[in-house]
A and B are shown apart, each in its own frame.
Chain A
Amino acid sequence: MKKRILSLLSLATIVCGQTDLVQAEAEPDFGASAEEELLFQDIPSVYSASKYEQKVSQAPARVSIVTQEEIQRYGYRTFADILRSLPGFYISYDNNYSYVGVRGFGMPGDYNTRILMLVDGHRLNDNIFDSVYVDTAFVLDLDLIDRVEVVRGPSSSLYGSNAFFGIINVITKKGRDLDGIESSITAGSHQSYQGRLSYGKRYQNGLELLLSGSYYDSQGRTNLYYQEFDDPATNHGVAEEADDDRFDQLFFRMSYGDLSLEALYADREKGIPTAPWEVEFNNTGTRTWDTHWFVDLRYQHLHESGTEIAARLFFDRYDYDGDYVYDYGPPSDLVTIKDRDVGEWWGSEVHVSRHFFSDHRLTLGGEYRGSLTQEQKTYDAYDLWLDSNPEINVWALFIQDEWALLDTLLLNVGLRHDQYDSFGASTNPRLALIYSPLAETTLKLLYGRAFRAPTVYELYYHDGYTTAKPNTQIDPETIDSFELVWEQQLNRNVRSAVSLYHNEIKHLIAYTVDPDDGLFYFDNQNAAQAYGTEFSIEGKWDNGCLANLSYTYQDAENKDTGERLVNSPLHMVKLNIMAPVVTNILDGGLELQYESGRKTVSGAETDETLLTNLVLVSKGWLKGMTVSTGVYNLFDVAYDFPGSEEHAQDMLRQDGRTFQLKINYLF
């Protein structure tokens, strides 16, 4: 398999590389030194440049950037698809939510709380579950993304809680990127339809506006078979029309000079066909609703002295509603247990950066997040089981210094102190030594510590002590991470990166069962550790070819027992190739993803899988129109993800071959 992938990349290199040789520029003549050199020397073209190369190489972490061009050309349908394409990231899906695994950690029951997600720097993790969504509940239409910056490793020294395995910053498009009205219509398998209408403009007075609305509706898989429910009483294990999915999204952004105002609304409804938590199987009443909206006012200013000031004031609201249908019989007595959770919070942050003594860049900042509501309610027609509304506020101060020890050596030191109303304080450092002995070579030695505060859900959730109980004595979990990164520009078009890392996690918060009373609860449990390596090589050529190959080895285990962690593939190989099929008319995007088996909750292992996705994008047929069509899981491979503690299924079967057709039109 690896051989096949390497051959394909070699082929891409040969095909694209040859074209590049033809287009190669003459070497610049540096005879004209001094000022006029600026005028007469050849400069590398932006069209073939890796757009964020500088950002990546100077960052005190291993960074990946996915651009809108890649999102479009690989036909990514959800945010999970974007993350799945990156080294060290993997996804699981339980037909309700998608979960992100990073560097070997993808614990069942973790609602993506160990990554911090930002939209234009605005924190998305809510104040009840600390969760973020990467499936259809993700708050933005992917068409509105300009790029996604993925920073691996602990970043609590700047961002506080949740920046545990990394941060994901989603940068949205600007009004100028549309400069008019744009619409898109998508149709896909499972009777899935999506529409978007956007307007963007930068006016002559400098005001810039982007307004967009999206709608999605999918019937989902109409008949889902689960062996665990294969009984005449439960429709022979077939869940019928219980996989529906729907969302609405609105996005607004206005900016004028240093000021910008951003607002976002997203709601999503999803049927749950898997019957978790022992609910009635094949009942379409079991479903969840997630709604998130925020308003964010931002000010950024560069003072004449070179001091950069950034300030932000925001308000967020998150609603989670869950209906879970149980049969209290016999005789049959179908009752819906309802979860109604509301989180409201506001906050502000300020940071100031300035250069000192010619070789220091100091950043000072502070953040406050105040909870207005952190309400959790669970009830049915008979009882109110949970009615909790604590108030946990947090403030933080941080400092970071980038010290250029030499022209080729940069030391990045950061420290952040967070103070929580609940458990108290957490202080987290980061040290990064970035050495660039040659223009093409960067070596990074990184150390960082991060924490994740226990969530309100983990602290207070219970269902009237029927199956779950609260535990308010949970400490934050911590991670210490050591990493060595080597980034190398191999030639004008090809660059590679290798990293070796070791993560030590303490006080891991996990769902467990109390043997005394048989009730589920969250608690700090065993320590865990992971060793791993990620290797990637990517090329970009002037003719539009782009290829990316990565290999990940990640060995994550329970430190006390030595057992491999659940839902953690040992090997992953990913290959992405993008190339013009017909120049200026048709582009092709091919994606291959291999992963070895994952251990399940019961100790079994899923099969290794190789998935292939193929997308064709046409831009040249009609001015302003882009048509893309994709086939996902091209060879209809049957594969599974591990189920979670709440599932009767040890493994959950995933989608076979699916299709999508999308038309974008810019008026």
Chain B
Amino acid sequence: MKRLFPLLRNTLRLLPLILVLSAASLVSEVPARPQPLILIVSSSQLPPYQQVVQGFNNSLKQRFPEALINTFFLDHDLMKTQATLLQIKTRHPDTLFTLGTKATQEMQAMFPDRPQVVTMILDGQLLEHSQQSTGVVLNFPPKVHFDWLRRLLPEAKRVCLLYNPAENAPLFAELEKAAKNSQLELYGIPVERLAQLPAALKSVSRHGDILLGLPDKTVYSSKTAKAILLSTFRNRIPFAGLSRYWVKAGALYALDWDYLDLGRQCGEMMVQILEGTAVADIAPAIPAAVRYVINMKTAEHLRLTLDPSVVQEATEVFQ
């Protein structure tokens, strides 16, 4: 008992201090704005994805420096991906930012009622399926493709397109219309199955001044990449590839993305959501900035003389 009295006495002496600190603590728990939890889930750790994440973070932090951001990368290993998804499931995000089809589909299923900003996808339907999703799709509009084609290869008139009608008939119709407006002739060559590709490529060599590569699951895959690149290379048909990776492998050029800017665009969408705009009111967008990469070794093989400004302005030039 004797020991208890000194403790009580000291506590009473400290009481005013405790009261002051408690009051201060109560004041600080009332934030100026709520501290939102944002989950970033990416399908890949490749540099372009990381740049998008960086651009997103930079953009978001300007308006919401206090936002809590948790970033997850899915792995190509199924077990690791499952483990990551279990970890994500324990979180209760306010909003999500997803990169790539795999991450987007997983998050749409896991948090169907949470607003989601999406990018690094080609399939715009992913955004249509969910009322809570918006974002920036990677596809450039047909006009953008043709404008750049005319600038890079002004002499090319006959543009060949390999596509599976079951998959891309609407896109082909859209391209056909845009080609006419750009005074180009579009030769669509249907490829319904992989086995038809060799004949289609022969037809490209007879009819085309250029092969325009646009995403089509039947035509362009890791299985067909070599055949397409080799055929266009051998037949000296310029090939507008799908990305810088295709250009590095031998395509003449490809439109490319400013990944930091893609992140910035998505960051701005996220800011709007956090400020209270309904997702339904934020229309999906296309990339605001267009870049391109070219392969000079291929240009030399094709005996093409590119305008020096075209070479200078390219984001990347493979020699």
Contacts and interface: CB of A to CB of B under 8 A. Distances in A.
Contacts of B226: 43-44, 46, 49, 54
Contact of A302 (B43, B200, B215): B200
Most buried by B among A30, A47, A258, A361: A47
B227 interface: yes
A189 to B, nearest CB: 34
B100 interface: yes
A47 B199 contact: no
B206 A300 contact: yes
A257 B195 contact: no
Given A32-B43, A300-B202, A353-B199, A40 B48 contact: yes
A304 B236 CA distance: 24
A35 interface: yes
A358 B192 CA distance: 10
A306 interface: yes
Contact of B102 (A33, A361, A404): A33
Nearest to A26: B46
Given A35-B101, A36-B138, A41 B206 contact: no
A36 B226 CA distance: 17
B69 interface: no
B102 A34 contact: yes
Contacts of A361: 195
B230 A31 contact: no
A42 B44 CA distance: 14
B253 interface: no
Given A36-B120, A258-B206, A42 B297 contact: no
A29 interface: yes
A466 interface: no
Given A32-B43, A35-B101, A39-B138, A306 B196 contact: yes
A41 B100 CA distance: 13
A304 B162 CA distance: 12
A255 interface: yes
B15 interface: no
Contact of A31 (B45, B209, B222, B227): B45
A226 B319 CA distance: 57
A236 interface: no
Nearest to A256: B206
Contacts of A47: 250, 297
Contact of A40 (B202, B225, B245): B245
Interface stretch (B70-78, B128-136, B144-152, B306-314): B70-78
Contacts of A31: 43-46, 73-76, 102
A40 B46 contact: yes
Contacts, number: 133
Interface in A181-236: 204, 206
Contact of A54 (B73, B189, B227, B250): B227
Interface string B203-218: 1001101000001010
Interface string A12-48: 0000000000000000011111111111111111110
B199 A206 contact: no
A308 B198 CA distance: 11
B49 interface: yes
B177 interface: no
Contacts of A29: 44-46, 76
B229 interface: yes
A43 B76 CA distance: 18
B215 A43 contact: no
A43 B246 CA distance: 6
A179 interface: yes
B209 to A, nearest CB: 8
28 contacts: A29-B45, A31-B44, A32-B49, A32-B102, A34-B101, A36-B121, A36-B122, A39-B122, A39-B138, A39-B243, A40-B49, A42-B245, A46-B230, A46-B250, A47-B250, A49-B229, A51-B230, A174-B235, A177-B236, A179-B303, A204-B157, A255-B206, A257-B207, A258-B206, A302-B199, A302-B203, A306-B192, A306-B196
Interface of B: 43-46, 48-49, 73-76, 100-102, 120-123, 138, 155, 157-158, 189-190, 192-193, 195-196, 199-200, 202-203, 206-207, 209, 215, 217, 220-222, 225-227, 229-230, 233-236, 242-243, 245-246, 248-250, 297, 303
Given A302-B202, A358-B193, 17 more contacts: A29-B46, A31-B43, A33-B102, A34-B43, A35-B123, A36-B43, A36-B100, A37-B222, A38-B221, A40-B245, A42-B249, A45-B248, A46-B233, A177-B236, A206-B158, A306-B199, A355-B196
